[in-house]
Amino acid sequence: MIEFAPDRPRWRQVADVIRARITDGTYPPGTQIPSVIKLQEEFGIATATSQKVHRGLRAEGLIYTEPGMGSFVSKDLPKKPADGPGEA
C-alpha cells in the first residue's frame, strides 16, 4: 500500500502508480490491469475511487475496457510530445 499525500486526490495518486507501471513495461500493451476490486485491495481505497482510476486512465487513452473481461493496456499508447508547444 502507498502512503497517500494529503494534498492530492487519492484516485490521481493511484492512477499515477498504474500509469508508471504501464510506461515502465510492468503492464505491457494488451496486458490486463488490476480490476476495481484488486485496486481496492492493493491500495485500500473505496470502490468509487477505484472506478475513478479506471475512468481517468481510459480518458487518457492508456487503457480500454472489454465488458465482462476487464481493463487492458492500450495497444496503441498515446505518444508524449518531446517538447512543449512553441519549443524546438
Residue 86's pLDDT band, with cuts at 50, 70 and 90, is very low
* Mean pLDDT lowest among 3-7, 17-21, 78-82: 78-82
> By the 8 A CB rule, do 5 and 44 touch?
no
Which sequence spans correspond to the domains of the chain? 10-73
**Number of residues assigned to the chain:** 88
84's grid cell: 512543449
- Average pLDDT value for residue range 17-31: 97
6: pLDDT strictly greater than 70: yes
CATH of domain 10-73: 1.10.10.10
